[in-house]
Chain A
Amino acid sequence: MKSKDRNYFKILRAGINTTYQDLGRNNLYHIGIPFSGAMDKRNFQLLNSLLQNDYNSPVIEFAYQGPHLKYFGKDIFFCISGNVSFKIITKEGVIDGNSYQCYLLKNGDEVDIHSTNKSVYGYFSINGTFGVDYYWGSCSINTQAQIGPNNGNKFSKDLEIEIIDINNSFNKRKLDYLGSTIENIRVIKGTNYDYFSESSQNKFFKESFKITKLSDRMGMRLEGPKIENIVDPNIKSEGLVKGVIQITSAGDPIIMLSDHGTIGGYPKIATVISADYDRLVQLTPGSNIKFKDVSLEDAETLYKLYQMETNNIISQIK
């Protein structure tokens, strides 16, 4: 491809943990490969809907501080989802951008994504397709197992992000959406719930836990009242799923997130319900959370309601 025909972003600053993500890869737990995929699926879905891309199109996920990108090529639109502060730098000047709005970029324009506000993850994409390689049907980058495009590594300075297709019939769209936060994380009691003393079981649901800095795409470590194990601090290693809350030998909860190890040997006290996962992963270190016990039937209903709500938000895109 001749350089004048190329459309691409050059990364002037990579951000803290910037990767390609899509819906992730299925049916590989048995060989030790987790789902991965966008942490906050709702914001992933909103972004592709706003840009009229396929529902599983690759997007760029960033955490805390996003990338600073310079664009080279023919006119293109971009959009950002999540609670994000960013600037658009053009020849005409610098403007503050709003999430969930599409903006035009011309050759030489820049997007500087400063930070996510009171949240962890944000998403960036264009009205088109990034040139990514697929590994087991997904372009999600899993930095721990080094699987995915860019040799499974997060983005670094000077990397060039290729765009292989631009949707020319695209019309600028926007959405008025303020995001959704959560006070209590709802959980279903785990398969080893009875490993813990009655007073610890009560504390687990009555007291609050602080999210520590030891949190990433693999897991979220919490700090709070020690959970006392009265049976055995270990179980025979068995499969995990995202949202599982294990209690370590030290008595602290750790929540499995999208890039988690596929098997583990700590007892499981509870599992976060699917309806609350997107909002859980957006909670920043230092936040306090409380767990609330719900039944399996309620969790199934709450998930359906959450999906309906997502579809309702998508229908408001204009």
Chain B
Amino acid sequence: MSFNWLSAIIFLPLAAAIALALLPHLSVKAVRYFAATITMFVLILTLVLFCFFDRNIGTMQFEEVYSWIPAFSASYHLGVDGISMPLVVLTALLGFVSVLVSWKLETRVREFFIWMLILESSVLGVFCALDLLLFFVFWEIEVIPVYFLISNWCSANQRHTALKYVLFTLGGSALMLAGIIGVYYYYGSLNMVLLSQHDDAVLLLSSAPIVPIFFMLLAGFAVKLPIVPFHGWQPDTYTNAPLAVSIMLSGALAKMGGYGIIRICVSFFPDIAIRYAPLMLTLAVVGIIYGGVLVLRQTNLKRLIAYSSISHMGFVLLGIFALGQTSLVGASMQMVSHGLITGLLFAVAGIIIEKTGYADITRLGGLARQMPATATFFILAGLGALGLPATSGFAAEFTTLLGSFSSTVVDSAKWFVLIALLGVLLAAAYILWTIQRIFYGPAQSAFNHIQDAGKLHRIYCGLLIALIFIIGICPSILTSIIQNSTYEIIQVVGG
């Protein structure tokens, strides 16, 4: 195909953002419709690509290569494979949903959508870039829109959140930059496809500091995912950020971390990944349990979802570092599934907070009577989060756990799976308890006259729920596209 599909997808939101910036006199309504149209169009484009994607090939498709900086043989190189394709669609979907979610926003609407569109561009770029430098550029750009989105549209006493987020992210990505420079120095290439075909065993025997480079690269992804000791920014950020940003952060940006670990850490350095797999699996299990336990103690609705997110991303890490063919498929599915479920949870939480005015769970209760539709949405999302069969959560977590248990590369993975199962139990506990605290119990008269979810709310919640169940009932939509690409990686790992 001669048309540059991926470039079009990546730069369309950016172009729209520039257009919005140059048209200061558009009415608020026009801005909203414009943003919604653009993001929907991007979503449609990604879906078209998803359909045209050849599922029998595990290598890169829709590639675009142009020379960019000859001095480093850095190129403008884009492409998607089975691992990144679903994430591109997910990002476009969440970009569209987050525009709908912020429909009622009244303050500085134009600026808000400009930043949201730039954010979408940069995240899409991360998933499509196949040149390390280009990858880093997209990776880093994301910081600026998020910084402005959080600090402009959160309450004034929470502005430190934005700085905290930025410093954590920049700290991680600074080390990542050092790692990229190290990779370039020792491998002499920035081409991510070529690099993943290298054999790191030779370098591992030499005196090259390849292990520090691995961990420097990992640092950037660890902050983003987040892996547990690096999660300090996450609960505050998810809680204080505007709703649309929380959705993008948890649904799409966190996946950049998981994607980066698969695409860069594991593919470039399979032997180091195997050597340090027990360490990473420990961190994964710690994350699953730690996040799960802390959820039980939360009373703020958004913070609760934030901690459950830590727990769920632990499964992604578990699946990746079990280094089995099936476990990697599971981890990739978990990324997509978590994006949908957490996006939905945040969206429904947004409805509850908007209608009742409270984010504090202790003040809520008995809402099932007053807001039956919202309650249904939340319960369905919750069932997905706790991994009930027929939801995408089940398909993803089951594949991850099964794949990790049967991994032939990392023998100790079995024991970690057994501990991770506790996390599944915890998830059931906190989800059901949360549902009970919000929606059941005596109905409160204070909430007698609140409205239920509106038409717009029903549209985007329904969309997400439909996807959760479609993937849950028919997971082969995803697995067929993912498995060939994970096979390519596992071949390098030697599993």
Q: Do A and B bind each other?
A: no
